[in-house]
Amino acid sequence: MLKSRFIFLSTLFFSGLGACTTESHIPNYLKNESQVYHEPLDSLNGNPESTNRWYMTKGNDYDHFLYQGNWDEGEGLQKRPKNNFINNLSLALKIGGFGNSAHFSAAH
């Protein structure tokens, strides 16, 4: 119990919430489960000038990949093997392995 309190909430909190209330923090690929995206994520995030290249596919529940590094954009992601890591990239990540239960109920 404290009769005198100073509660400070910074711009981190409010700017994050501002994005939340306009839903702009939710990437497009999460808004439409059925769609397959192979756009650079940086362009989705409004940063087309970035030299990084991020790509994502969204197929079934576990076929989610995020890529970093130099690679041939012309091939398109559909030609890449799924369910395997891509060895010739500087970093290849599987994503989508958490969060699948969230449709079930609130997480709290």
Partner 1 sequence: MKRIEIQPRPNLKERLEKDGFYFHSDYYSETSAYVFKLTEVIRIEKATASLFQLCMEAIDWVIKKNRFDDFLIPKKYWDLIKASWKEDYCSFYGRMDLAVNHDSTEIFLLEFNADTPTSLLEASVVQWKWLEDFNPIFDQFNSIHEKLLSHFKYCRSYLLGNKKLWFTGIAESIEDYTTILYLQDIASQAGISTDFINIPLIGVDRHGDFYGMGSKKFIEPIHNIFKLYPYEWMFKEPFGDYLSERTLWIEPFYKAILSNKYLLVLLYNLFPNHPNLLPAFSNETHSLNQYVQKPIFGREGNNVRIMDNNHIIQEKNGDYGKEGFVFQQYQELPEFQGFRPVIGSWIIGGKPAGMGIKETSQYIHDDMSQFCPHFIQD
> Site residues (CB under 8 A) for partner 1?
1-3, 5, 7-10, 12-14, 16-17, 20-21, 25-27, 30, 41-42, 45, 47, 50, 52, 54, 62, 64, 66, 68, 85, 91-102, 104-108
**H-assigned helices in the chain:** 11-21, 28-31, 41-44
CB of 100 to partner 1, least distance (A): 5
**Residue 68 or 71: which CB sits closer to partner 1?**
68
CB of 81 to partner 1, least distance (A): 14
Q: Residue 65's beta-bridge partner residues?
A: 57, 94
- Give the C-alpha separation, 82 to 27, whole Å: 22
Q: Which amino acid is at 81?
A: P
Contact criterion met (CB below 8 Å) for 17 and 25: no
- Give the C-alpha separation, 40 to 74, whole Å: 13
Tokens representing 75 are 């091939």
CB of 75 to partner 1, least distance (A): 21
**Residue 11 or 74: which CB sits closer to partner 1?**
11
CB of 34 to partner 1, least distance (A): 15
